[in-house]
Each structure stands twice: as C-alpha cells, then as structure tokens.
Amino acid sequence: MPYSPLLVKPMRDELTASGVEELLTAEDVDRWMTEGSGTALLVVNSVCGCAAGMARPGVRAALDEGPRPDRVASVFAGQDLEATARARAHFPDIPPSSPSLALFKDGELVYFVPRHRIEGRSAEDLAADLVGAFRQHSGAASEVPA
Amino acid sequence: MGTFHQDRHPLHGITVVVATSGGDGAPEVYVGRCDDIDAERVILLDADAHRDGDGGHSNDEWVRRAAEYGVWPRHPRVVLPRARVASVQPLGEVSATTPSS
C-alpha cells in the first residue's frame, strides 16, 4: 500500500533537486526510454532506509561529480506502481529490487546496481562506483588529462 | 548495519544468504531480506531457495548468480528453524565471480 504522498514528498524532492526527472506514469517511462540516445540513469527510488542513507545521497554525489549521464530519471517503487512496473519491463531478466539503479547507453542496459549492492555501504562508496560507470560508458575514461 | 528498527536483529532489512543443513535431503540455501533472527528461527521476506544440485547447479553457483542481480521473490515469507541454519551472510558480501564462503 502506498505511503502518504506528504510523507514521500521529501524523498522525491531529494532527487528532483539534483535535476532528476520523475516518471509518474507508464507513458512517462516509455517516452523517457525512447526520447534520446546517449547515457541514461534510472533510479528506482524507495521509502526504505538504504534509499535514504545510501542510494539517494550516493546518486546526488555521483551526479555532482560527473560526468553526468545525458538523462537522469526516477520511478518510485511502492508509490508509482504503474511507472515502476513499466520501468522494470525494460530489464525483465533482473529480479525487482528497490532501491536500485540502471544505467542505459543508447537504450541498452549496461550497468545495474541491485538493492543488495547498496545495503550496508556508504553513500560515498556507491557514488564512487556510479562515477566509474558514468566515466566508462560516457567515454570519459578514455580521455587523457592534459 | 541494518535499518532503523532497534527491536530487530542487526541484519533486519538486509538481503542475506542463509545456508541450511537441508534436513534429510541435500543442503539448501536461501536468499531473502532478513526480517528477524532470534534464538528459535530466521525469518526471511521475498526469498528464493535452491537445493544443492537442482538444475545441475551447486549451491555456490546459485548464490554467485544471486550475488550479481538478486533473486526473484518466490516466497513472501520463509521461517527457518535456527537449528537447521548453518550460516547467515549478507548477499552484498558475496562476490558474483568467486566461490562464496
């Protein structure tokens, strides 16, 4: 059963404040998944403690450090049920978990962090993993500093 | 290391691997979200299970696959007698590429 929208709003705002687009309907998800090429990070948000303590702060830190994916969006598991189900349909072989993080490149899933790889870690460690994946798939890893 | 419920086991909310003796059959392994652990039982939510050798896969192979992306929640709630439990380990500590301990 979804929580009160009032309770969940700060958990949504924490990501939207970093420029993460909220996908509230299945149509939103379909549009976002097909609207462009390049790298795209999808955050499966959640009310649980590891979303608050690790996933959202880790995503924010990774986006701040960059290279930022071309597009970043979120669905909220347990709240926006239709949007979350449609998002998970884009990686049907992966068991559902939340929070979780999916990085796409040109529409193809290239990196995935399930809940159990978020639990018990620090936001800093998660951010470092994400930055590594952003660099690898954005091509930034091949750039040689001057 | 778990979530913010001080009346629960420290692994509450954490996805764990539970190895069991299997009783009369082959050893079984469970992966699920730990709800609680006490002197009598281990309670898992949204769990899946594997019996050593089923489908041609050892328990180690099945756990390594689970360590990559997780498990499907085939059992909403599993209660395991503590006497059957050989070990409990966070799934996040299991490498997807090397044998589990």
DSSP secondary structure string for all residues of A55-85: IHHHHHHHHHHSPPPSEEEEEETTTSHHHHH
In a domain, B66, yes or no: yes
Contacts of B72 in chain A (CB under 8 A): 95
In a domain, B10, yes or no: no
Q: What is the pLDDT of residue B26?
A: 83
In a domain, B55, yes or no: yes
* Average pLDDT score, chain B: 89
Contacts of B67 in chain A (CB under 8 A): 116
Distance from CA of A122 to the nearest CA of B (A): 11
The domains located in chain A, with CATH, are 5-109+122-138 (3.40.30.10)
In a domain, B22, yes or no: yes
In a domain, B79, yes or no: yes
B10 interfaces chain A, CB cutoff of 8 Å: no
Tell me, what's the ipTM? 0.84
A67 preceded by a cis bond (ω within 30 of 0)? yes
Nearest chain B residue to A117, by CA: B92
Start-end of H helices in chain A: 5-16, 26-34, 49-50, 56-65, 81-88, 123-138
CB contact under 8 A, B92 and A94: no
Q: In this structure, what is the dihedral angle of CA atoms B90, B91, B92, B94, given to the nearest 10 degrees?
A: 110
Distances (CA, A) of B49 to B13, B37, B52, B76: 18, 18, 10, 12
List the domain range (segments joined by +) for residue B55: 15-91
Nearest chain B residue to A91, by CA: B69
In a domain, B99, yes or no: no
Nearest chain A residue to B14, by CA: A119
In a domain, B100, yes or no: no
DSSP secondary structure string for all residues of B35-75: EEE-SSEEEEEEEEEEETTGGG--HHHHHHHHHHH-----E
Residue pair A142/A135 in contact (Cβ under 8 Å)? The answer is no
A39-45 sheet: strands from edge to edge? A21-22, A71-76, A39-45, A100-105, A108-113
Contacts of B1 in chain A (CB under 8 A): 119-120
CB contact under 8 A, A95 and B70: yes
Picking from A48, A116, A121, the nearest residue to B91 by CB comes out as A116
In a domain, B26, yes or no: yes
User: What does the buried/exposed string (b/e) look like for B2-11 if buried means 16 or more CB atoms within 10 Å of the residue's CB?
Assistant: bbeeeebbeb
101 residues of chain B, pLDDT tens digit each:
555 566 788 899 999 999 998 777 789 999 999 999 999 999 999 999 999 999 999 999 999 999 999 999 999 999 999 999 999 999 999 987 655 44
CA distance A29 to A23: 6
Q: pLDDT tier at A120 (50, 70, 90 boundaries)? A: confident
Q: What is the pLDDT of residues A64-106, one digit of tens each?
A: 999 999 999 999 999 999 999 999 999 999 999 999 999 999 9
CATH no. for residue B20? 2.30.30.100
Three-state secondary structure call for residue A102: strand
In total, how many domains does chain B have? 1
Distance from CA of B41 to the nearest CA of A (A): 22
